[in-house]
Amino acid sequence: MPVARLTLDEVKAAIAFDQPGLVATTDGASITVTGTFHVAESLDAISPEGPLAAFDLRIELSFKFPHDEPKVFETGGRIPRTPERHINGGGDCCVTVWEDWLARTNDATFAAYLTGPLREYFLGQHVFELTGEWPFDERPHGENGLYEAYAEVLGIRNRKKEVLYHLRLLSKDWPRGHWPCPCGSGKKLRHCHREEMMALHGKLPPPLARRMLRRLKSYQRP
Amino acid sequence: MTIHGKRTAKSHDDVLEDIAQSLDIPESRFIEAQERYNSLGEWLDREDSSLSRFKPEISPQGSFLLGTVIRPLTEADEYDVDLVCLLQGTLADFTQKTLKESVGREVKLYAKARNMTTGPKEGRRCWTLHYADGAQFHMDVLPAIPDAQRYRKVMAVYGHTDLAKSDVLSGQAIAITDNTLPQYAQQTDDWPLSNPMGYAAWFKSRMAAQLMERKKAFAARQTIQASVDDIPDYKVKTPLQRAIQLLKRHRDIMFAEEGRHKPISIIITTLAAHSYNEEQTISTALQSILRGMDQYIEIRDGVAWIPNPVNPEENFADKWAEEPKKRKNFFAWLEQARHDFAAYLRASRFDAMPLVLKEALGSRLVDRSLASVLPAAASPVAPAVVKAASDPADRRTDAAVREIERAGPQSKPWKK
């Protein structure tokens, strides 16, 4: 299957009007977006008082976006580099659980990333500056947060075994009908929740399920 | 300085409206132009005119008709007033050459009778009449005869049946002349076709609701009871017309030095009208137009095609193929316009116009405008970037957060 590559034109089009403070360039190996990111009050209305906030940042984009998660660095020195402020050890911003966003969104374009997770992240940072509190729910640390996110995506209870089994099923290009149904009825899948699993399979394609599984397993190794 | 009827701006729209108003042709000049073309029309239709049996009529076309005229960059530049000179004849009465020349003869006599120092100049399709008396405009007079029937046939042949059937869009199509064609002096029935009235009707249809709104508001402001139907189009301006005026101004300034291949008004106007969706404000109209206007450029057999909406076989961008600089300039202009207007609309407070947009629209004109609608703004040069909302924990931020919560947040960062 041909993999769509992110193009510089697509990135430029995404920022052309809506982020006039950003500039996109490429060195042939990746795309870099730098400048001032404006947190708009509204995506469509023009606010007399201007944007809510503005952050200087650098976004490093792989041509394999959205397969590869972008790396975002706040460059204005405004956000302390601590986990409490959702900054990763490498200094990059912990914008979202990438697979979670990919599975939830029906528009995984760079433009949608800017108006979705990235705007929400920096709006969150702005609110934290003002109030000391995060406006949106936070997930628990590390592994537990991942399980919680994935369980939400799958629409199931947050039980590690169930999450893992669902992801194993969904990792196959075609869910195996003779495997036991994940509902625990003891019946074969094809005689039980087949429809539901097929629907989930459509929503969460095998490569994504495999990636989620890999990420969970990375915590299980000693 | 006394300010009459000007209120203090409270939004980006108030500021842009005032700037666009200052781009308008002054009403006195507009009326003067009207009087002059009416006077030419009366001359052509006078009793001993050689054309009188064809009941010649002069009417405006182009930006004068569309309400998108803007003042020229300098006092030395002129408005060009595009006019159709319509003769009630048929293709059997004329060759292209005899039509062009009979109109030319009468226009020459007119110039002489009015003691104009220069006679009309012949162009490919038009006669251009210059006024040397400081009127600051010239008139392009396009000789034409009605030819809707043939136009509709051609549209039908190309499969544009809706167009062919529409009285409004094709009922006023005309045959025009072109002195570069081989059959120019021959009696033929294949004259070039044109449809400026149909285009204007299409343009108007793209803003019908807002035009009605503005007329209602205008009627309500009159002391004497006025009916909406009595208000001429030119008395009001829709957000689409205002946005086009601002975009044309941006274009004029950007290509002030080297304007030979600048994006042409009909392209800007057509793409803007397509992407306009009856937005109620100039700012949101500009936003829709700038975000989406390039989507209406088609590619036909590898050729960029901006169809005339009332004649899709006509490509407004037909010069792009032979002169790639025109294409390049259009996209360079669009990129710049997006950047400059967005720097104001999406990144600045309404009373802090960034320098980039100010310069892109002409600093002198903008400063004059800002001084009148933002009297308190002592420092007109504002930082291009707003660093943070000044009002802590403000209601705007709360509202933005709540809106996201309603839609379901997409980003749920985790702690590590």
Q: Are residue B188 and residue B278 in the same domain, yes or no?
A: no
Identify the pLDDT of residue B391.
53
Domain span at B9: 1-21+237-407
User: Do B88 and B9 belong together in one domain?
Assistant: no
With an 8 Å Cβ cutoff, are A53 and B339 in contact? no
Based on the fold, state whether residues B48 and B174 are members of the same structural domain: yes
CB neighbour list of residue A49: distance below 8 Å, 6 or more residues apart: A41, B349, B350, B389, B396
Mutation target to probe the B interface, by most B beta carbons within 10 A, among A10, A12, A17 is A17
User: Which pTM was predicted?
Assistant: 0.86
* B13 and B32 belong to one structural domain: no
How many whole angstroms separate alpha carbon B283 and alpha carbon B346?
10
For residue A88, the 8-state DSSP code is -
**Is the pLDDT at B384 greater than 70, yes or no?**
no
Pick among B15, B287, B414 to test the A interface (most A CBs inside 10 A): B414
What 3-state class would DSSP assign to B194?
strand
Q: Domain ends where: B205, B224, B251?
A: B205
Residues 6+ apart with CB under 8 A from B374: B8, B9, B15, B351, B380
Name the residue with higher pLDDT: B50 or A199: B50
Contacts of B291 in chain A (CB under 8 A): 16-18
Query: Are B125 and B177 in a shared domain?
Result: yes
Better-scored residue on pLDDT, B409 or A54: A54
Answer yes or no: are the C-beta atoms of A55 and A125 closer than 8 Å: yes
For A8-131, CATH number out of 3.40.50, 2.60.40, 3.10.110, 3.40.630 equals: 3.10.110
Cβ pair B73, B143 in contact under 8 A: no
Per the CB < 8 A criterion, the answer to whether B223 and B338 are in contact is: no
- CA distance linking residue B148 with residue A134, whole number of Å: 66
Here the CATH number for the domain that contains residue B47 is 3.30.460.10
Domain coordinates of chain A in residue numbers?
8-131, 142-220
**Which DSSP letter does residue B414 get?**
B
Overall average pLDDT of the B166-181 stretch: 96
C-alpha distance from A3 to closest chain B C-alpha (Å): 24
B138/B90 same-domain check: yes
The rounded percent of chain B whose pLDDT value lies above 70 is 93
Round to whole Å and give the CA distance between B355 and B344: 9
Asked if residue B31 belongs to a domain, the reply is yes
A–B CB contacts, 8 A cutoff, strictly below? 167
DSSP 8-class letter at A115: I
**Preceding amide of A66 cis, omega within 30:** yes
Q: Please, which residues bridge with residue B57 across strands?
A: B86
Question: Tell me, what's the pLDDT at B11?
Answer: 95
Tell me how many domains chain B contains.
Answer: 2
DSSP 8-state assignment for residue B376: T
Tokens of B414: 């985790």
Specify whether the CB–CB gap between B197 and B61 falls below 8 A. Answer: yes
ipTM of this predicted complex?
Answer: 0.83
Q: Which residues of B touch A130 (CB under 8 A)?
A: 392-394, 397
Q: Is the pLDDT of residue B392 over 60?
A: no
Report CA torsion sign: A42, A47, A52, A54.
Answer: positive
Scanning A11-30 for CB atoms below 8 A from B yields: 16-21
Q: Which of B190, B205, B220 is the last residue of a domain?
A: B205
Tokens of B76: 């030395």
Kindly determine whether residue B410 and residue A89, on different chains, have CB atoms separated by under 8 Å.
no
With b for 16 or more beta-carbon neighbours within 10 A and e for fewer, the B46-63 pattern comes to eeebebeebebebbbbbb
Q: What is the band of B387 on the pLDDT scale with cuts at 50, 70, 90?
A: very low
Q: Which of B341, B397, B412 comes nearest A149 by C-beta?
A: B412
Q: Which residues contact B79 (CB under 8 A, 6 or more apart)?
A: B25, B29, B33, B69, B71, B72, B136, B137, B138
CB B226 within 8 A of CB B219: yes
**Is B16 in the same domain as B41?**
no
Q: Is the domain of B65 the same as that of B139?
A: yes
Q: Considering the domain boundaries, does residue B339 fall inside one?
A: yes
The answer to whether residues B255 and B355 belong to one domain is yes
